Amino acid sequence: MFISNRREFLKTSLTTSGSFIVALTLPLPHRGWKAFAKGESGFGHHYFEITPDNQFVFIMDKAEMGQGVYTGQLTLFGEEIKINPNLFQVKSAPVAEVYSTFNGHMITGGSTSTADRWMILREAGANLRELFKMAAAQKWSVNVDQVECKDGQVFAQSGTQKLTFGELIEDASKIKNPPKGKLTDPKDFIYIGKPQVGLDAMEKSKGSDRFGIDVQIDNMASAVVERGPSFGAHVKSFNASEVKALDGVIDVFKVSSGVAIVCEKYWQAMRARKSLIVEWGPGSLQDLDSEGIFTSYKNAMEKTKAHEVEREGEPESAFAGADQVIEAEYRLPYLAHSPMEPMNATAWVQKDRCDIWCPTQGPSLVRNKAAMMLGLPREKVFVHNSVFLGGGFGRRSTLDYVVDALEISKKIKRPVKVLWSREDDTKHSPLRPITFHKMKASIKNGRVTGWQHDLGCESIMQYVIPQWFGLMAPDWVPDFLLGSLGKMVSFFMSLSGKAPTVAEGATHIPYTVENRLVKHYQLGIKVPIHFWRSVGHSYNAFVVESFIDEIAHKLGQDPMEYRLKNMTHNDRLRATLEIAKEKSNWGKPSQGRFQGVASHSSFKSFASEVVEVEVHAGQIQVKKVTAVIDCGTPVNPDIIKKQMESGIIYGLSAALQGEIKLSAGGVDQSNFDDYPPLRMSQTPEIEVHIVASTEKPTGVGEPGLPPIAPAVANAVFAATGQRLYDLPLRLT
C-alpha cells in the first residue's frame, strides 16, 4: 500500500487532469452511492477512484493512529468490490460534508470507524462490482451472471475475454440505472474475518512512514511555546530583547497560550528557550490540588444536591431495610494521554487562505477553528490531513496545538511548524478527569437489594462545548453569537445535569439489582479535561468491578461464580466471562500467582479479563492476562488482538503507575521518568480470545481497557487480602 503525502496527491491530481475517472461518493450518513465523471458537480469529494491504467485509489477520511483503520476500511470495501486490500492506494480526504460522521463532522474516535462503515462500505463495493460486471457483460453481449470479477478485472466465464475496470470506465459511467450489488455471504468472505497484518506494516517497519512532525513546507519556520507553571497563568513580562538577540531567533512574542519563540530550526528554538525568562501572573486555578479536589467532592456529596443519572426501584427503602450495608470510597487521578509523537502542527496563514498540516482526529474541527480565528470563510481553510498520527487516544481531538501554529504563522506571515516538548504535553495536556466515588450496597438475606453510586466528576462535554459549539454550528450562525451560544448551551446542560459520558459504565450495570441509584456531583473545576481512551468507562469500570468483587467476597462467594450468577440480563457479556473462566483456568492459577477478574461492556462490545499477578516485596507484577472480546463480526482478528493488547497495556500503565497530580494549579509530572508508560519487562503474556459472531461489528480500540485495572486490583486482593480503592494501585 502506498500512503501519499500532499505533494504526491497534488501531482496525481494534475496528471489525471483530462483523463476520465470514476468517483464514488457516499453521502453519509445516508446510504447510497453515485458515480461521477470528472467535471460533474460532486466530483472530488469521493471515496474511490479508478484510473484508466487500473489503479485503485481509496480516499480515506479517517485518521490512522495505530488502530488499524486503513486496513479495516479497505477490508470492508475490498471484500465486496473483490479487490485485495493490499492493491489500493490511499489518499487523505479533504474536509467536506460528505465525509462527516459525527453531526456533520469528520472525527475519528469512539471506537466507531469500522462499526459505522460496516454496511456502507460493503454496499458501495458490491454496487461498484456489479456496475463493472454489467459494463463488461454489455460489451460482450452476455448475461451479467456469466461474468466474474477479481482484483479489478472482469472475466467472462465462458472464454478468455478479460477487461480491467480501468478499461471499462467509460462504459460503466454510461449505465444509467446500475443494479444493486448483492452482499457477499459471510461464509464466502475472503478478506473479512481473516487475520491480516496492517496494510501500513511495511512502511512503518522501513521507517518511511511520515507523521505531522515530519511535515516540510518551503520557507517554513520552527517555533516553540513556553506555557505557564499552572493552568490559567498569564504572561506578565519576559526578556524579549535578550532572547531576540540570540543566534537564529526570528522573533519572540506573546501568544494566547504563553510566549512563542520562532527560529529557522527547532534546535535553535529549543536552545533559545533555555534563555527565556517569563514572569507569570497567578493562574486562575492556583489554589487547586488533587487532594483538595477529592475532599471537595466528598464534602459536596454530603452537602449539595446531585443530579440523578439513574434511578430504578426504591433504593432508599432497600437501604432502610438492609441487614448490612457495604460501603467504599474510590479515588482516581487525572491522566494525560501522552501519545509518543509530541503535539505539533504546521500552518501557513495568508491573507485570503490558510493551510494546515497536522495530525488530528478531527480535521473539520481544525478547519472551522481556523476559519473562526482568522475570520476566513471555511472553504478558504485547507486541512491537509495526510499524515499518520503518532498515537491519538483522544489527545488529538483537541485544538490547543493547532491554535499555536495559527497564531504564530499569522504574526510572522510565514509557514511555521510548532512542536511541543514532552514536558509541554505532560504539563499542559487536557486531562482524563479526576474522579471520586462513594459506593454503597445493601444486603438482605445474603443478596444485594440496593446499589448506590455517588460519582464526583467534571463533565467533559460541558467543558468542550463552549469551545466546540462555534465549530460545530452551521456556517450561517453569525460569529458574534457563537461564543455566547456555546457558553449558554453548556450552562443549561449543567443546570439540567446533562453530562453525557460522565456516568457511562456506572449506569446499566450488568448485574441484576432491583433498586439502584446513580448520582452525579460537579464542582465547576476549570482544569482542562478531555476524552481519554474509553472515557467514562475508564474510571467507572474500575469502581463497579472492584466493588462487585468486594461484595462477592463479603458474601463468601467466589467472585467469578458470583458474577456469572448475577449477570442475568447481559447474555453477550456473560458469554465472554464464561470463556474467560474456562481459558484462564479460573481457580487454578500457576504456582505463586493469584487471579482476579473483571467484565465490562463499552462501545457496544463486551469484554472480560482474568489476570494473574505475583506480589513481591510490595510490588505488583502482572504476569498473564486472558482476555475475551465479543465485538460482533471480527473484521480482522489480527488487528482486534493488537487493539486488545494495546488497550490492556494502556490501561495497565494507568493502573500500575499512571498519575497526573495537580499542585497549586499545575501538573507535578513532566516526562516519561515521572509519568511512565509500561515497559516490555512489565508487559504480561496476553492471550486474546475473540468470540465467533455474525452480529454487526462493534468497537475494538477501547473496550479492552476498562476491565484491566479492576481485574488487577481484584487479583491483588486475592494475593494480599488488601483491597485497593485508589489508582494507581499502591500496596501499603
Partner 1 sequence: MISFFVNGKKVEVDVPEDTPLLWVIREELGLLGTKFGCGKALCGSCTMHLNGEAIRTCVMPIAAVAGQRITTIEGIQEDGLHPVQKAWAEQGVPQCGYCQSGQIMQAISFIENSDRITESDVIKSMDGNLCRCGTYNKMKTAILNAAKSMGKA
In this chain, which of 265, 413, 569, 696 binds partner 1, going by CB under 8 A? 265
Contact status: 267 vs partner 1 (CB under 8 A): yes
Sign of CA dihedral 573, 574, 578, 581: positive
Cα 114 to the center of its chain, rounded Å: 13
Residue 267 vs 492, nearer CB to partner 1? 267
**d(Cα 602, Cα 610) in Å, to the nearest integer?**
17
Q: What phi, psi does 117 have (nearest 5°)?
A: -100, 5
Smallest distance, partner 1 to C-beta of residue 361, A: 12
Contact status: 295 vs partner 1 (CB under 8 A): no
Contact status: 637 vs partner 1 (CB under 8 A): no
One-character DSSP codes across 483-497: HHHHHHHHHHHHHHT
- Counted residue by residue, the chain has a size of 732
Which string of x and - marks every residue 214-233 that binds partner 1 (by CB under 8 A)?
x-x-----x-----------
**d(Cα 358, Cα 405) in Å, to the nearest integer?**
10
Which of these ranges, 202-210, 448-456, 553-561, 719-727, lies near partner 1 under the rule CB under 8 A? 202-210
Name residue 236's beta-bridge partners: none
C-alpha pair distances (Å), 217 with each of 109, 154, 201, 214: 28, 42, 26, 10
**d(Cα 213, Cα 357) in Å, to the nearest integer?**
10
Size of the site for partner 1 (CB under 8 A): 63
Contact status: 211 vs partner 1 (CB under 8 A): yes
- Secondary structure E strands in 420-564: 435-444, 447-456, 515-521
In this chain, which of 85, 181, 315, 342 binds partner 1, going by CB under 8 A? 342
Residue 183 vs 213, nearer CB to partner 1? 213
In this chain, which of 401, 650, 717, 725 binds partner 1, going by CB under 8 A? 650
In this chain, which of 79, 504, 645, 702 binds partner 1, going by CB under 8 A? 645
Contact status: 254 vs partner 1 (CB under 8 A): no
In this chain, which of 37, 137, 240, 270 binds partner 1, going by CB under 8 A? 270
Which of these ranges, 282-290, 332-340, 370-378, 547-555, lies near partner 1 under the rule CB under 8 A? 332-340
Which string of x and - marks every residue 371-410 that binds partner 1 (by CB under 8 A)?
-----------------xxxxxx-----------------
In this chain, which of 142, 175, 183, 213 binds partner 1, going by CB under 8 A? 213
Q: What phi, psi does 423 have (nearest 5°)?
A: -65, -40
Burial string for 629-652 (b: 16+ CB within 10 Å, else e) reads bbbbbbbbebbbbbbbbbbbbbbb
One-character DSSP codes across 99-157: G--BTTB----TT-HHHHHHHHHHHHHHHHHHHHHHHHHHHHT--GGGEEEETTEEEET
Smallest distance, partner 1 to C-beta of residue 196, A: 8
Residue 204 vs 526, nearer CB to partner 1? 204
Instruction: Check residue 591 and give left, alpha or beta (phi > 0: left; psi -120 to 50: alpha).
Output: beta
Smallest distance, partner 1 to C-beta of residue 629, A: 15
Residues numbered 136-175 forming contacts with partner 1, rule: CB under 8 A: none
Contact status: 197 vs partner 1 (CB under 8 A): yes
**d(Cα 364, Cα 81) in Å, to the nearest integer?**
29
Q: What phi, psi does 655 have (nearest 5°)?
A: -65, -40
Smallest distance, partner 1 to C-beta of residue 590, A: 17
How crowded is residue 615: how many other Cβ atoms within 10 Å of its Cβ?
Answer: 18
Lookup: cell for 643: 487493539
Name residue 50's beta-bridge partners: 22, 56
Contact status: 340 vs partner 1 (CB under 8 A): yes
In this chain, which of 151, 676, 693, 723 binds partner 1, going by CB under 8 A? 676
Contact status: 208 vs partner 1 (CB under 8 A): yes
User: Among residues 544, 461, 466, 472, which one has the least CA distance to residue 501?
Assistant: 461
Which of these ranges, 132-140, 346-354, 596-604, 644-652, lies near partner 1 under the rule CB under 8 A? 644-652
Smallest distance, partner 1 to C-beta of residue 641, A: 9
Residues numbered 39-68 forming contacts with partner 1, rule: CB under 8 A: 65-68
Residue 166 vs 658, nearer CB to partner 1? 658
In this chain, which of 178, 228, 339, 728 binds partner 1, going by CB under 8 A? 339
Q: What is the DSSP letter of 445?
A: T
**d(Cα 221, Cα 300) in Å, to the nearest integer?**
49
Residue 508 vs 623, nearer CB to partner 1? 623
Contact status: 564 vs partner 1 (CB under 8 A): no
Smallest distance, partner 1 to C-beta of residue 683, A: 4
Smallest distance, partner 1 to C-beta of residue 3, A: 11
Contact status: 335 vs partner 1 (CB under 8 A): no
- Rounded to a whole number of angstroms, the CA Rg of the chain reads 27
Residue 47 vs 266, nearer CB to partner 1? 266
Specify burial of residue 557 (Cβ count, 10 A radius: 0-12, 13-18, 19+): middle
Smallest distance, partner 1 to C-beta of residue 681, A: 5
Smallest distance, partner 1 to C-beta of residue 645, A: 6
**d(Cα 513, Cα 548) in Å, to the nearest integer?**
11
In this chain, which of 619, 680, 692, 694 binds partner 1, going by CB under 8 A? 680
Q: What phi, psi does 79 have (nearest 5°)?
A: -55, -45
Strand order in the sheet with 147-150: 147-150, 153-156, 162-164
End-to-end CA separation in angstroms for the chain: 52
Lookup: cell for 298: 466528598
Contact status: 523 vs partner 1 (CB under 8 A): no
Mapping DSSP to helix (H, G, I), strand (E, B) and coil, where does residue 641 land?
helix
Residues numbered 418-437 forming contacts with partner 1, rule: CB under 8 A: 419, 421-423
Smallest distance, partner 1 to C-beta of residue 199, A: 9
Smallest distance, partner 1 to C-beta of residue 478, A: 40
Residues lying near partner 1 in the complex (CB under 8 A) are found at 65-68, 196-198, 200-211, 213-214, 216, 222, 247, 265-267, 270-271, 338-342, 388-393, 419, 421-423, 638, 642, 645-646, 648-650, 671-673, 676-681, 683, 685-686
